[in-house]
Each structure stands twice: as C-alpha cells, then as structure tokens.
Amino acid sequence: MSKFTVIGAGIAGASIAYHLAKAGYSVTVYDRSDQGQATRASAGIICPWVSQRRNQKWYRLVQEGARYYPHFIDELENATKRSTGYKRKGAICLFKDDHIQELAFQRISAKQEGSPEMGAVKKLTKEQVKAIHPHLTNEYPAVYVEGGGQINGESLLDALKQGILLYGGKWFDQDQAPTTLTGTVIYTAGAWSGEFFQTPMVYHQRAELLHFKLNHHLTSQHTPVVMGLGPMYLIETGPNTFAIGTTHEDTDSFDLAPSIENQRYLLEEAKRYFPEAIINDHYVAVGLRPFTRDSLPYMGFVKQNVFVVNGLGSTGLTAGPVIGREVTSYLLGEETTLNLNDYNY
C-alpha cells in the first residue's frame, strides 16, 4: 500500500490527509500547531461568486470548492459526529448606491448558470437589508446571494483530525517530522513553507479580525454573512457576537501581536455597520495568510517524492476541502475534475 506523510495540517494538509485516509491509504500527519495559522484565524466565508477577480484558474478552483462543500460537510459530520459550524444563511453584499448595486447584481447573477449552487440572487432595498439583518445599518442597498455561507475553521480542522484517525490515519502534534520519510511527502506548511522549500516562493500577509459582542435588545437570528464596502466583511460567531475584518499587511515577520491602530480602525468600522448597538468585549485575532505568484494556489511536485500545496491566501477555507479531493485523486492516478496543471507553475 502506498504511504503518505503530510507535513503541516492547516486546511489543505488536513483535507488531503482526510481524503487519502478515507480512500484506505496509509497516512501520517505531522503538525506543530503554529500560532497564527490562517485556517484557525479565518472568517471562513464561502461565497466566491461575488468576487471581482478575473483569474479564471482561481475562479474554477473556488467555484468547485463551493459546489463541493455541502456534500463534503454532510459526509464529514456524519462520519465523525463533530460539528464544523457550517451554515448557509446567505450573503448580503452592500453597495454605496443603487447604480453600483445594479451593476453588481448583473455581474453576480450572470454566474448563476454555471453555478446553480449559489441559489437565488436578489436586489435588496435598504429596508429589506434591515429586515434580514436587524443589527445592520440601513444606509446601503444590497445584493443577496442565497447560497453564501460560512465555516468555523477551528471546528473544521478538529473534525478533519477526528476523521483521519477514524479512517486509520495517524496524527502527531510535534515540532519536527522525522528526518527520514518513506513514500510520498505532502508539504503544506503555509506561511512557514520557506523553512524547507523555496518552490513555490511563498510570502504572507497579516490579517486581523476583530471579535466583539453587541449589547443590544435584539436577539441574534442566525444572520447572513455581510460583505461590506471595499474589503470589509462581517460574520456572526454566536448569539449577538460577531467578527469584522479585514486588514492586510504584507510582512516577512511572524509577530502576532495585534496592532492597536488596526484594532481602533476595525472598532470604528464595526460601529459604522452596527450604529444602533453598543459594542464591547472585543479582541483581535491575527492570522498569517500564505500567498504565491498571482495569488494563485500552487499544487505540484517540487522533487520526486515531495508534493507541495501552498498559497491558498484568503480563500483557503473555500478551496481547501476540494483541494483535498482533487490532490488525492491526482496522487492516486485517478481522474480529477480540475486540471491540476493549472496550479503547477
């Protein structure tokens, strides 16, 4: 039987290991649980159809990722009896005026034919936005995408670990893998990849997410994801608790101390979107997102028995599960849905 060793168990590594173990192969995972791992710090928004990125290789990946999610989560949760926090309550995309709303509606709804899983796409008036999300400001019109959802990265990783063990895989939480490994090594070290390989060239960004609680008379009703103006987004994390992001800072540092300046900025943004509520109990989570050339994930052999996956960036939780499925098929010599040569540059 073929043997596989996965080094680094963020979403890519854990998903690949899970799919290999489920297929009946010998899998061993080594992970040192670095603080700042992008998967655990991520907002976990699954709504790729609203992106304005024009890179078709990237879009095919995240489109297939979103399509795979419901089946993947159903199978994983049923097998492990663990909740991943996955929910599809839709996504509200806010726009500064009716003209931009109309342009966005045309752009997003044009993707429905190729992505029926995105569900209905509707324009919302300011009043309708408030009706769907009572906490939210009524300053902006929106486009609603029914299939938008979110996942809890930490819960997903815990479920994947349980699934790997359930199917006979091994998992070691330790600082270093053995120096001698047999079989195929799958290296998915994220922002820390450069410690062992320079192919692909990986850089990283600090992303900060402000978590907070609302002191409000309204009771949370499982609200949709909110895509705000510019790069801003809001997610519900619990009863009357939310998180807002994001800030992006290119860096070669692994310092995870929250920036006071960014915390103040995100707090002001939270007040802007939730003007009627008192915001308290706030703290900042910091993640290090790995990126590669053109912000396109890399998947390929860098030497005879070493396969590298990296550079998932801000869409890691959207793409990670389907990458596990596709890489597993590729390594086993089976047909893939995606052409992995698109990501082996």
Question: Is 95's pLDDT higher than 60?
Answer: yes
Kindly tell me the sign of the dihedral angle through the C-alpha atoms of 109, 141, 151, 290: positive
Provide the CATH number for the domain around residue 192.
3.50.50.60
Q: What is the DSSP string of 209-249?
A: EEEEEEE-SSPP--PPEEE-STT-EEEEEETTEEEEEEEEE
pLDDT in tens, 274-318: 998 899 888 999 999 999 988 899 999 999 999 999 999 999 999
Domain assignment present for residue 217? The answer is yes
Same domain (yes/no): 240, 280: yes
Same domain (yes/no): 168, 285: no
- Tell me the percentage of the chain whose pLDDT exceeds 70: 98
Domain assignment present for residue 104? The answer is no
pLDDT number for residue 2: 85
Provide the CATH number for the domain around residue 211.
3.30.9.10
Domain assignment present for residue 320? The answer is yes
End position of a domain, from candidates 291, 318, 333: 291
Question: Is 154's pLDDT higher than 70?
Answer: yes
Say how many Å lie between the first and final Cα of the chain, rounded.
30
Domain assignment present for residue 172? The answer is yes
Same domain (yes/no): 61, 14: yes
pLDDT number for residue 33: 87
Same domain (yes/no): 161, 283: no
Question: Is 1's pLDDT higher than 80?
Answer: no
Same domain (yes/no): 154, 184: yes
Please tell me the total count of domains within the chain: 2
Domain assignment present for residue 257? The answer is yes
pTM: predicted TM-score of the whole model, two decimal places: 0.95
Domain assignment present for residue 19? The answer is yes
Q: Which residues, at least 6 apart from 201, have a Cβ–Cβ distance to it below 8 Å? A: 292, 293
* Residue 278 or 219, more confident: 278
Least confident of 30-39, 73-82, 140-149, 176-185: 176-185
- Side-chain-facing half-sphere of 147: CA atoms under 13 Å: 23
Domain assignment present for residue 122? The answer is no
Question: Is 221's pLDDT higher than 70?
Answer: no
Q: How far apart are CA 328 and CA 21, in angstroms?
A: 10
Q: Which domain holds residue 281?
A: 203-291
What is the chain's mean pLDDT, rounded?
A: 94
Same domain (yes/no): 34, 171: yes
Same domain (yes/no): 65, 156: yes
